[in-house]
Amino acid sequence: MFSSISDWLDERTGYKALVAHALDEDIPGGARVVYVFGSGLAVLFTCQVVTGLMLMATYTPAVGSAWSSVFYVQHEVAGGWFVRGLHAYGAQAMVIVLGMHLLQVALYGAYKRPREVTWWFGLALLGVVQGLALTGYLLPWDQKGYWATKVATNIAGTVPLLGPSIQTLIVGGADYGQTTLTRFYVLHVGVLPATLVLLVTMHIALFRKHGATPPADADLTKKDKFFPAQLALDVMFAVVVLLVIAVITAWTRGAHLDAPSDPSIDYPPRPEWYFLFLFQLLKYLPGSLELVGTIILPGLAGLFLFALPFLDKGETTRISLRWQWLAPILLGGVGIVLLTVQSKRDDAHDEKFQHAAAEAHVRAERSIALARNGIPPGGPLEMLRNDPLTRGADLYAQHCTKCHVLRGKGEYDAPVHTGFASRAWILGMLHDPQDARYFGRTEIDDMKSMEKLGDEKLQAVTEWLFAQGQEPTDPPVNAALAAKGGEVFKESCMDCHLFKGEGADTFDGPDMTGYASREWLEKQISKPESIYGELNKMTAFAEDLSPHDITMLALFLRQERAATPETGPLPELAPQKTASK
């Protein structure tokens, strides 16, 4: 029955002749492992098409929804992380395998007459594959892809005369936005894949016309058929590559999703690893020399590869007799590897970069945690801007680190906020208020140490002050100890401080009503003179920040009640006191 169906179908399609033509191809010199890269690329591309179509079923190419749709695939769809990981790592595998394929072709001299056009199609394929990798990188619309792609397009903008126009055409305007994402999406799912299919078809047709190029010392009397000898090697290579991609995907739980892109937030931009060599090269070519790294050297390399069939016109394909043409390719490959490794090493020893990368990782993890609870209609940025830990941290970095220190970042011109208003912070301040961690760098220099009260009373006052900012979600307070501390405060501190409208006639110290509560912090941020009176030198932020942002910053600072204050030696500090609080 199967034979009858096969014959019926062959009569109408002629598929048997097509299959025979594909499988019966002669392999001069016999089947070889080095011939597997072309078939490997075809399998990888098929994998990309299948996984890409699956991702398209849930992806939304809109700046307000792209990240959310990728999050949904990564964390909500069953197996979505695996599909996305296969697609992401498959793209990187294509870059590697295509590079190996071109190197094999160069070493075997398979660019020589009459295979020049086949070689050029291979070079074009390399460009398209890199274009696919670059355009796909932006589609999640996360911080990593956004800034890495911005670096790449800025490089395109350095092209003499046409650079700005090229960059505007790619970006779709003066800066990144919906038009950018739309253009990259169209390129990634439409233009570039169609171009790749066309190039692959022409490349294979030309390859079948001229056949494989055997090594110079091959025994040409030996001729294997593509099936089964070479096909078996091709299948084994494809299986190994797919298994490696699958293992990496399983090991990493899929491709990393960074925080939603936000141009207002600092981020340590880096291109993907296959462009790191160019990024590293530009470090050595500052200023006007940048053009050498972005245009001249890549242009010369491309021109050399294109012209290679005309430069190496000899009949021989022996490597030893073509070293002058192969040396630039090999040296270029080694240079790319060394520059990539050096870039990684530089980043590993760059404390500033590592700190920024760690902050970016925290932001990404926080974004994922928030998104699990639901993304608001306004999109992921609205989600982050309503989160005190995220928005508060952004505001703190922008407005507070010029005077304050938090987690070792900032200036010691005002009280350190690491562990601010925690029991340990309050107790340390009562012991030595003129320490640089507290008010030692400000003009509030009248407050003296309260050590004379003794440890028992200091502990009580600490508990009372800690209780002033108490909210239902805070750790419990020792009510009896706090009540005792309140009595000590009235007896010993209200000559200088105000509490609920009672106390000092003038502001000799901060108003302690609701100390370190959200309301107290909001007043200090928006109108600090209401807390410090005439002593205040702190900038008021009521006009610079919205009420919402002031609340976010206050809630962010409140988390320090549960943190551990700074300890250990302080960095070298200038002795002058500043006007900050």
Which distant-in-sequence residues (6+ apart) come within 8 Å of 520 by Cβ? 468, 469, 513, 514, 531
The per-residue pLDDT for range 352-385, each reduced to its tens digit, is 999 999 999 999 999 999 999 999 999 999 999 9
H helix intervals, 349-435: 351-372, 380-385, 388-399, 423-431
Radius of gyration of the chain (CA): 33
Which distant-in-sequence residues (6+ apart) come within 8 Å of 293 by Cβ? 278, 281, 282, 284, 285
Q: What is the pLDDT of residue 453?
A: 87
The per-residue pLDDT for range 126-173, each reduced to its tens digit, is 999 999 999 999 999 999 999 988 888 887 777 777 778 888 888 888
Percent of the chain beyond pLDDT 90? 61
Gap between the Cα atoms of 317 and 325, Å rounded: 11
Gap between the Cα atoms of 216 and 237, Å rounded: 24
The per-residue pLDDT for range 282-335, each reduced to its tens digit, is 899 888 788 888 889 999 999 999 999 999 988 898 998 999 999 999 999 999
Higher pLDDT, 153 or 392: 392
Which distant-in-sequence residues (6+ apart) come within 8 Å of 498 by Cβ? 504, 507, 511, 512, 513
| For range 102-126, the mean pLDDT | 94
Q: What is the pLDDT of residue 141?
A: 96
Gap between the Cα atoms of 268 and 395, Å rounded: 18
DSSP 293: I
| Superfamily (CATH H level) for 22-355 | Cytochrome Bc1 Complex; Chain C (1.20.810.10)
Higher pLDDT, 222 or 242: 242
> In the chain, where are the structural domains located?
22-355, 389-562
Query: Cα 194 from chain centroid?
Result: 29
Gap between the Cα atoms of 404 and 395, Å rounded: 13
Query: Cα 32 from chain centroid?
Result: 40
Distances (CA, A) of 287 to 153, 291, 300, 347: 18, 8, 20, 21
Q: For residue 55, give the amino acid letter.
A: L
Q: Are 516 and 467 in contact (CB under 8 A)?
A: no
Q: What is the pLDDT of residue 579?
A: 44
Gap between the Cα atoms of 354 and 14, Å rounded: 61
Pairing of strands 26-28, 502-503: unpaired
Taking Cα atoms as reference points, which of 150, 128, 155 lies closest to residue 138? 150
Stated length of the chain: 581
Given a cut of 70, whether residue 576 has pLDDT beyond it is: no
